[in-house]
Structure 1
């Protein structure tokens, strides 16, 4: 069972990296994926936001895919540096998910967003009907 979980995590990390690369380079691919995501029970604005924040999500999934084997197989000889690295990677996972949510809701930080999507508003601004949430 452990091997299946690891294979799933590593496959998810590879898929996220591939999708991040494609999303960063192609608006057409972004629009095609958005059409596929509309089957999930969120609004179009949330789907666009989640996909806009795919890069930090990829960072989190990849860090998780690296930290889980370290924690599972390194427990017998888990000493200071290895333990610190594994815990740090779990922290990177949390930061990646947090950044994806901030991109979704506030469209910030801009460096996490593909260049062709940086002008889009976050869900918060769209739902409030304001172009700039700081001044509106």
Structure 2
């Protein structure tokens, strides 16, 4: 059994679904940035998914939503580049992937972790969530109670 080939309809559908999910996440991130009333809605959604029922973890991931959107967008761009480069241009596309995408996603992953754990850097956190404690500080405060 072989995997999904580059340029196959399955790859195109997967990229389309990932792209649509990323666009929806961007829409929600923009709404979150300007409207603090979106926080409970997004935290409730995160509790069912990545938050695994934990309120503190869910709120931390909501704070990191802008960075998550950029990561999703970069993944869609990577997929499109690799999908288009099937054939002769594949070595060049893989070179671009190795030198640009992997470091870019590494930086974004580090930013995501910093926002979730420490709520830093503040300029990437929605304005009305900047006063929140990071997940690490919130867990320590909860343990002291």
> Normalising to structure 1: TM-score of the pair?
0.82
Identify the residue that residue 34 of structure 1 maps to in structure 2.
43
Partners of 1:42 and 1:105 in 2: CA distance: 17
1:54 aligns to 2:33 (yes or no): no
1:67 aligns to 2:78 (yes or no): yes
Provide closer, same or farther for how the CA distance between residues 93 and 12 of structure 1 changes in structure 2, counting only shifts above 3 A.
farther
1:125 aligns to 2:137 (yes or no): yes
Partners of 2:105 and 2:20 in 1: CA distance: 16
Identify the residue that residue 134 of structure 1 maps to in structure 2.
none
State how 1:94-133 maps to structure 2 within 5 Å: 94-129=106-141
Equivalent residues, number: 129
Partners of 2:18 and 2:107 in 1: CA distance: 18
- Unaligned 5+ segments in structure 2 are 1-9
* Structure 1 moving runs of 4+ over 3 Å: 82-87
Provide closer, same or farther for how the CA distance between residues 83 and 38 of structure 1 changes in structure 2, counting only shifts above 3 A.
closer
Deviation, 1:42, is 3.9
- Unaligned 5+ segments in structure 1 are 131-136
> Normalising to structure 2: TM-score of the pair?
0.78
Instruction: Indicate the RMSD between aligned Cα atoms, in angstroms.
Output: 2.0
Provide closer, same or farther for how the CA distance between residues 60 and 47 of structure 1 changes in structure 2, counting only shifts above 3 A.
same
* SS of 2:48 mapped into structure 1: coil
Q: Deviations over 1:47-83 (max 9, x none)?
A: 0000001111111110110011101221422465x55
